[in-house]
Structure 1
Amino acid sequence: MPSLSEAAARPSIIVVIRSLVDFEQLRALRREVHRNPEPAFVEIGTAARIKQAIDGLPVRVLTGKDAHDLSSVVNYPSPQTLDEWEARAVASGVPAESARYFRENGTAMVVDLAGDRPGPRWGLRIDIDALPMRESADPAHFPVANGFAATNGAMHACGHDANVAMGVGLLHRLADRDFAGSLRILFQPAEEGVRGAQTMIDAGAADPIDTMLAVHMAGEMAMGSVVGSFTGGMATRKLKVDFTGRASHAAGSPETGRNALLTAAMAALGIMAIPRFSSADTRLNVGTLVAGDGVNIVPSSAVMTCEARATDDEVVDELVDRIRSVVEGAARTQGVGAALAVMGQSSTVSPDDEVIDRIVEVAGALPEVVEVIRTQAFAGSDDANLLIRHVQRRGGKGAYLMIGGGSPGPHHSADFDVVEEAIPIGIDILASLIRQN
């Protein structure tokens, strides 16, 4: 069987028809990525596999500081964690030198493919990370039954493995360069927790883009269904608060201590008591609280994580301001220090009608697409919205395309999966969209 690069050298196979070889190799790539899932910022093997799958194509690949700026990332994986995932990547078959490169330089990748004539620059976000959860071991679960279920404690429970296959497949489909303009694919780490897009924005990766697209599998939709674009969604801020107090003997000298645990508990209750807004749908949640050293010690430290979401970007900013006030007030009450940091963020999305109309037109012309929904309200949060908004603010356009994935279970569940035949549908839509400039 020829490699993906060899297949790309034969446009009559890749471009005109989707041959069995093309689909088999896309499926094999998807299964290899699914078998070896990696959480946020440790997608070392995934990045290496993407790079290997596009070797030989007429592309320019940007990595490291040219692809993302990691300087402001809160809770970036520790050296020990990076070492562990590097070793896992090598054990899974990734060449040691490639694993070491992405371990040391980060896992984001920007891939540019130029057409053979002038035209606009398209951008496409492909998320590559997995979730820190275990996959179902049920023998009836399709990845288990076919021998590619994950066993390393992480799972592609949101379809990013299929998204990777779509991105790689699109580069091979367009490798004949028979289109106007250019395509820039942003293979983005750390979508879960909405942490990765801002790092790519900070590196300038989205600056040259005229039309910014995101594509994603929609597990709850049947294969053959397409949504022209998500709309709305929830802006979010994921927050981490470090409380610093003073330890003392809980019986012998409690008055000399400064209780970080009590302060964090007060802040947690205060955050959940922040009033909701009449002008937007809002969500608040305190997710974790870790504190203390022993039953007879006044706790000197505590770490709390929480999140705010809203269907309005200004409202989520206001919620964060109020959370900050609650934290600072609780800290002053107990004489404890508190430092609040944003771990992840996203915005709402307002796609452009012109782009949606073109997606709907292209998708509706494909025989394998049986249903086209022009727009659909987005109930969650995705930091691809930040990329779309960034391009729009610079005068460009954007939309968030959804491809029906036919999962037997909901997103972020142990039995999530996608119908693999949906992957070429996404490639068909994107390739046709770019070729028909």
Structure 2
Amino acid sequence: MEMQNLDKLVQFRHDIHQHPELGFCEHETSRKVQGYLDDLGIDYVSGIGKTGVVAWIKGTSEGSDRTVGLRADMDALPLEETSGVDYSSKNKGCMHACGHDGHTTMLLGAVEHFHANRDFAGTIYFVFQPAEEGVGGGKAMVDDGLFERFPMDEIYGLHNWPGLPVGTFGLIPGPLMASGDRIDVTIHGKGGHGGLNPHGCIDPVRIAADFINRAHTIISREVDPLNPAVLSICAIESGDISGFAVIPDTARMSGTLRSLDKDTRNVMVAALERLAKSLEAYYGCTIELQIEDKFDVTFNEAGATESATKVIRETFGGDALAEGHKPSMGGEDFSYMLAACPGAYVHVGAGDDEHTHGLHNPGYDFNDKIIPYGVQLLTGLALESLGKQNRNT
């Protein structure tokens, strides 16, 4: 798939890939996005949700004041890059391991398209979101008045998807990506000598092991087996590895909950709370349990999903829509925007023989071949949304 300005977009993507920034710290990335918009003479407002940017283009055709939003994320991850590409990250311990550099680039490609092709009725908003990676950028933009300041009838977003081949798209109505919670557990026991008087201690390591084993049975025995759910304790920290005979005072753990509906989430939360209280009573310890709601279910509205399906089939062919695409238990804080405004989220196939690493892998690199697919998808979604709304006016 060819684009006249593809080289320019790839160069921009490689530039921000070399200079990744974590959530709410995307000052340079945001500045570069604003510079791209300035060069085109596009109106925008910065500083929305801290480092977010919203640009807009009004069509020259008459007859409608309808609006649509297109969104991309800008932040990177705290990983040390091992991809080996010649434009690898120059910021130690930080890399674009999820392709947000590519998403930002594709949205700028859509801006450039509509800058040159304004023969449509309505207004298109381009939302450059900060801090998607679990730190609440989508919610921050909504709380900062995104939809009050820039009213949108619909909003669309996309994400590259290495599990699908280039040229295919994943899209389903309803839940597409899971809600996500962070679990933090601190066990306060009583330390001592692991050889001399273990019976006089309240061993937090032992309690942590029991907590982990019991927590990992919640899915199989408390959650409806027809409702997808994940509960994972992913990290534990206690004592000093060199203190082989020292029972520590405390143990800390962290993990995550994932579900596709609120009822299932509530079942897991209640079970963890009961578990913590029961272990406190049995062992005589104190357990602090914190469960932080990081993002909602990413829910595709039926009408917007139908529109996106039409765009994919008409633009890329009838076989471009992946058959049997299933929801992902990964999370996405675009969910906060979809909860406030009807819309849909699309997975864009990015897998080929040269790009075999998955998302959040230190060897991952965004596949530049899909930039034209993303630009055409975004532009098609905007025009279909405005056209559909105009037809319904």
TM-score range, shorter chain: 0.7 to 0.9
Give yes or no for contact 1:219–1:404 (8 Å, CA) kept in 2. Answer: yes
- Give the letter aligned to residue 52 of structure 1: G
The one of 356, 375, 383 equivalent to 2:332 is 383
Distance 1:250 1:345, change over 3 A: farther
How far the C-alpha of 1:33 sits from its partner, in A, is: 1.8
The one of 324, 342, 348 equivalent to 1:397 is 342
The residue that corresponds to 2:98 in the other structure is: 158
The one of 115, 118, 126 equivalent to 1:185 is 126
Give yes or no for contact 1:26–1:165 (8 Å, CA) kept in 2. Answer: yes
How far the C-alpha of 1:371 sits from its partner, in A, is: 3.8
Separation in 2, partners of 1:426, 1:234: 19
Give yes or no for contact 2:173–2:305 (8 Å, CA) kept in 1. Answer: no
Give yes or no for contact 2:139–2:333 (8 Å, CA) kept in 1. Answer: no
The one of 352, 355, 360 equivalent to 2:309 is 360
Q: Is it true that 1:320 corresponds to 2:285 in the alignment?
A: no
Q: Is it true that 1:236 corresponds to 2:179 in the alignment?
A: yes
Q: Is it true that 1:226 corresponds to 2:176 in the alignment?
A: no
Q: Is it true that 1:304 corresponds to 2:288 in the alignment?
A: no
Distance 1:198 1:248, change over 3 A: same
- Give the letter aligned to residue 349 of structure 1: F
Distance 1:262 1:302, change over 3 A: same
Separation in 2, partners of 1:380, 1:230: 15
| SS of structure 1 residue aligned to 2:163 | coil
- Bigger relative CO (Cα 8 Å, ≥ 6 apart): 2
Give yes or no for contact 2:358–2:364 (8 Å, CA) kept in 1. Answer: yes
The one of 140, 147, 158 equivalent to 1:215 is 158
Q: Is it true that 1:33 corresponds to 2:16 in the alignment?
A: yes
Distance 1:345 1:295, change over 3 A: farther
Distance 1:231 1:258, change over 3 A: same
Q: Deviations over 1:313-358 (max 9, x none)?
A: 3202221221222223334543325141416223152432x32333
The residue that corresponds to 1:338 in the other structure is: 288
How far the C-alpha of 1:288 sits from its partner, in A, is: 0.8
Distance 1:292 1:164, change over 3 A: same
- Give the letter aligned to residue 139 of structure 2: Q
How far the C-alpha of 1:256 sits from its partner, in A, is: 8.5
- Give the letter aligned to residue 157 of structure 2: A
Structure 2, unpaired ranges of 5+:
387-393
Distance 1:287 1:312, change over 3 A: same
Separation in 1, partners of 2:185, 2:201: 17
Question: Structure 2 matches for 1:4-403, cutoff 5 A?
Answer: 20=4, 22-56=5-39, 57-63=41-47, 67-68=48-49, 106-116=50-60, 118-137=64-83, 144=85, 147-150=86-89, 152-175=92-115, 177-193=118-134, 195-206=136-147, 208-229=151-172, 232-243=175-186, 245=188, 249-250=192-193, 260-274=204-218, 275=221, 276-292=223-239, 298-332=247-281, 333-342=283-292, 344-352=294-302, 354-366=303-315, 371-373=319-321, 376-384=325-333, 386-387=335-336, 389-391=338-340, 396-403=341-348
Separation in 2, partners of 1:31, 1:231: 34
Name the count of aligned residue pairs: 367
| SS of structure 2 residue aligned to 1:217 | strand
- Give the letter aligned to residue 378 of structure 2: L
- TM-score where L is the length of structure 1: 0.72
| SS of structure 2 residue aligned to 1:55 | helix
Q: Deviations over 1:377-412 (max 9, x none)?
A: 222323245235413xxxx52111233323421422
Separation in 2, partners of 1:108, 1:331: 44
Structure 1, unpaired ranges of 5+:
1-17, 69-105, 139-143
- Give the letter aligned to residue 344 of structure 1: K
The one of 375, 381, 385 equivalent to 1:433 is 381
- Give the letter aligned to residue 67 of structure 2: R
| SS of structure 1 residue aligned to 2:98 | coil
Give yes or no for contact 2:142–2:337 (8 Å, CA) kept in 1. Answer: no
The residue that corresponds to 1:141 in the other structure is: none
- Give the letter aligned to residue 204 of structure 1: G
The residue that corresponds to 1:406 in the other structure is: 351
Identify which range, 170-179 or 211-220, moves more after superposition: 170-179
Separation in 2, partners of 1:119, 1:43: 32
How far the C-alpha of 1:31 sits from its partner, in A, is: 0.8
Q: What percentage of residue pairs aligned between the two structures are identical?
A: 23
Identify which range, 151-160 or 280-289, moves more after superposition: 151-160
| SS of structure 1 residue aligned to 2:32 | helix
